[in-house]
Amino acid sequence: MLTFFIARLAPSSTPCWKTTLHRNTFLNFNFFSSSRLSDPNCLKLQQQTEEQEKNDPFTLWYLRNSCGLSPEVAIEASKKVRLKDPINPDSVLNLLRNYGFSETHISKLVGRRPRVLLANPETTLLPKLTFFRSIGLSSTDIPELISDVPRLVESSLEKAIIPRYEVLKSVFVDDDEKVHRIIKGSKSFAYTLYDRNFLPNIEFLRQAGVPQSSVSFLITNYSQVAFTKHKKFVECVELAKEMELDPSRVSFVQMIQDLARMRKSNWESKLRVYERCGWSRDVTILAFKRCRNCLLYSEEKITKTMKFLVDEMGWSSEDIAISPMILSYSLKKRIIPRCSVVKILRMKGLIRKELTLVSVLSINEKKFLKRYVIRFQEDVPQLLEIYKGQIDPLCGMRS
């Protein structure tokens, strides 16, 4: 009898986590209530859970109970990592919590990179966390950054993180606040960890004579462009040079951004479209310098607008090249209504025929109405209705 009581009071040789796991393996998955077992998806999830529990019960239990993963995420994560005991995973989680990681941050990070639980806390994770704190990121910034970009925990501090940080520092000289904003906000810093184009592209810009301020502008405002494939990036820079844009001006990198959004075949296609509309290559490039958006318009929009202005209104294609921004206006909502009014006024001799495109199309609505509609309503009573598209412009011409 005494032996029995001594045995009951003696410490168990079984670790407490195993006892808890044994008691709660199925209780912790109360997600599978009897009312939900009729759901095919829920039934499938239960079957996957039971199968995974047979193969690796501790990993699944730990992901659910210590990391806060949902049943679905825990199953997927357990296929990517196998935990033998809680010693190292607990050390990892304790370190993360000491650096401000909430349970939400932890579940997000582990769900996306479950192998972080196998990392050496002292030699792999701590140096990175210490580095991010040393460059000025707060206990709020670090968890947000790493849970959003979990690849950071797998990247080499010496070979990837620090060199990329130094690049950003060299771009944003004496502007730590902007460096921090890039790291935290646009994820440009994270992209550089696995992108092979970033460094060569930045160096090529510098060789082309682009100043530090414009490089900073590009990364801050058009960060994705900095990661364009190097061959294409070089082509974009060369095309910007062909347009005789000044590399020292910010418009140079703005043009690179526009060109990077297009395939070279599309760029050449746009040149041919404008050539069919009467522009030479030199005129087209000049127009692009004046209005970068000319690159982005569809072939249909370019053709219809140019045809209307040249054939219907009598303006030359060279006139349009002088003010290429007018191609951005809506043909139906702005160009045709205004030109209908101007055409009638010309026919009746109420205005001179040598009006410029800018004076007709670029002024705001209030000025146009005052200058071309209200002013002549006594002479052409239907003018406002024509402008609004309520009657056929030919009626106004005959009246």
Paired tokens of 42? 């829920």
Residue 54 domain-assigned?
yes
Confidence of residue 35 (pLDDT cuts 50, 70, 90): very low
Average of pLDDT values for 164-173?
Answer: 76
Phi, psi of 325 (to 5 degrees): -65, -20
Q: Identify the CA nearest to 218 among candidates 264, 187, 252, 169.
A: 252
Per the structure, how many domains does the chain have? 2
Determine the Cα–Cα distance for residues 292 and 312; give it in Å rounded to an integer: 26
> Which residue is it, tokens 């395939």?
263
Residue 281 domain-assigned?
no
Determine the Cα–Cα distance for residues 118 and 364; give it in Å rounded to an integer: 64
- CB neighbour class for 114 (10 Å; exposed up to 12, middle 13-18, buried from 19): buried
pLDDT digits over 309-331, tens only?
A: 888 888 888 888 888 888 989 99
Tell whether the model's pLDDT for residue 18 goes beyond 80. no
Q: How far is CA 300 from CA 163, 233, 276, 307, 335, in A?
A: 47, 28, 12, 11, 15
Residue 348 domain-assigned?
yes
Paired tokens of 131? 């580095």
Q: How many CB atoms lie within 10 A of CB 259?
A: 26
- Specify the pLDDT at position 51: 60
Residue 199 domain-assigned?
no
The residues, any chain, with a CB within 8 Å of residue 257's CB and separated by 6 or more, are 218, 221, 222, 225
* Amino acid at the residue 88: N
Residue 178 domain-assigned?
no
Q: Which of 117, 139, 155 marks a domain boundary? A: 117
pLDDT digits over 65-79, tens only?
A: 999 999 889 988 988
Residue 29 domain-assigned?
yes
pLDDT digits over 276-287, tens only?
A: 888 888 888 888
Inter-axis angle of helices 212-221 and 162-171, to 10 degrees? 120
Q: How far is CA 275 from CA 112, 241, 271, 284, in A?
A: 51, 21, 6, 8
The residues, any chain, with a CB within 8 Å of residue 118's CB and separated by 6 or more, are 81, 83, 88, 89
Confidence of residue 167 (pLDDT cuts 50, 70, 90): confident
Residue 359 domain-assigned?
yes
Q: Which of 117, 147, 175 marks a domain boundary? A: 117
- Specify the pLDDT at position 53: 58
Residue 362 domain-assigned?
yes
pLDDT digits over 138-166, tens only?
A: 889 899 989 988 888 888 898 888 887 88
Q: Which of 117, 136, 156 marks a domain boundary? A: 117
Tell whether the model's pLDDT for residue 360 goes beyond 80. yes
Q: How many CB atoms lie within 10 A of CB 160?
A: 16
Structural domain harbouring 94: 16-117
pLDDT digits over 190-214, tens only?
A: 665 556 788 889 889 999 999 988 9
